[in-house]
Amino acid sequence: MLDKRTVRLLVFLCALVVSLTVVAKAVYLKRQETASFLLEHSLFEDVSFSTRTANTQSVKPVQNDSDEENNYIAYIPSEFRQEVRITCRYIKEVWIDDKKYTAGDCLTGVREGVRYCIELYAKGGDLTETGWITFYFAENIPSLYINTDSGSMDAVNASTDHSYAELATFMAIEENGTVSGSGRCTIKGRGNSTWTSNIAVKKPYNIETEAEVPLLGMGKQTKWSLLANLYDGSQLRNWLAYDVAQKLGMPSAVETKFANVYLNGRYNGLYLV
């Protein structure tokens, strides 16, 4: 028979083997997940920016319209002004302007409108990607985040008659970080020439919330329009018309607010809500 001391030792060794097996499996699965992501995506797909608040959203850099490969723009929301942090899952190190960052680090010394060299190093390997990134910082403009359940807007944008609506979540955040509306919604296209025009890269949308919400501090509604103001470089004509109508007390006048709209984490432009 085995004595108690030997039994305890065997139990300890068995538990240790089980624990090491679990850890090894977790490491293996994590490496497989990273490898699978890198096979299908650019490392730039893993980079986003956030801030340390309870209601934070993350925003991804968007590809610049230029023909230069890996040339990105990061549109930083108003509520991030005090603190911008790197968010990534598969990247070990991010170098911006010869400064090293890891997940959770706060950006320092970044200036608006300056193009910086950015280098990305993946976890568990030497795979790297390099490119350029330029930062722009919003001021005194609220943000509206819409994240579709599918993670894509392709089906919505392909629906020429606006018959397709995508299920999504939404969150409106004031420039001071206060949430002014959140929940479930659907999003679909709207408009005619502003939808089908060859220059309509910034499309207009309608969203319908599950419950009435006072979005961006406006009166409670379920149906909201996101006007792209495609043909108005000033972005002011529609706002001015609605504002004058409200001040004149016209019965059909509606409230409006400007907001920077992010679709699935990517900046889509300034909209009139």
Q: What is the pLDDT of residue 156?
A: 94
Q: What is the pLDDT of residue 152?
A: 93
Taking only the tens place, the pLDDT of each residue in 219-258 is 899 999 999 988 888 888 888 888 888 888 887 778 899 9
Q: What is the pLDDT of residue 209?
A: 95
Q: What is the pLDDT of residue 262?
A: 96
237 DSSP assignment:
H
- Asked if residue 41 has pLDDT above 60, the reply is no
Taking only the tens place, the pLDDT of each residue in 159-198 is 989 999 999 999 999 988 899 999 999 999 998 877 877 6
- Asked if residue 158 has pLDDT above 80, the reply is yes
3-state helix, strand, coil in the chain (%, to 5): 25, 35, 40
**Residue 8 or residue 117, greater confidence:** 117
| Rg of the Cα atoms in the chain | 24
Taking only the tens place, the pLDDT of each residue in 82-101 is 889 998 888 889 999 989 99
Cβ(235)–Cβ(270) below 8 Å: yes
Neighbours of 108 (CB within 10 A): 10
Cβ(144)–Cβ(172) below 8 Å: yes
- Is the full-model pTM beyond 0.75? yes
Q: Cα(95)–Cα(42) distance, rounded to whole angstroms?
A: 16
Residue 37 pLDDT level (bands cut at 50, 70, 90)? very low
- Average pLDDT value for the chain: 84
Q: Cα(85)–Cα(108) distance, rounded to whole angstroms?
A: 9
Q: What is the pLDDT of residue 1?
A: 57
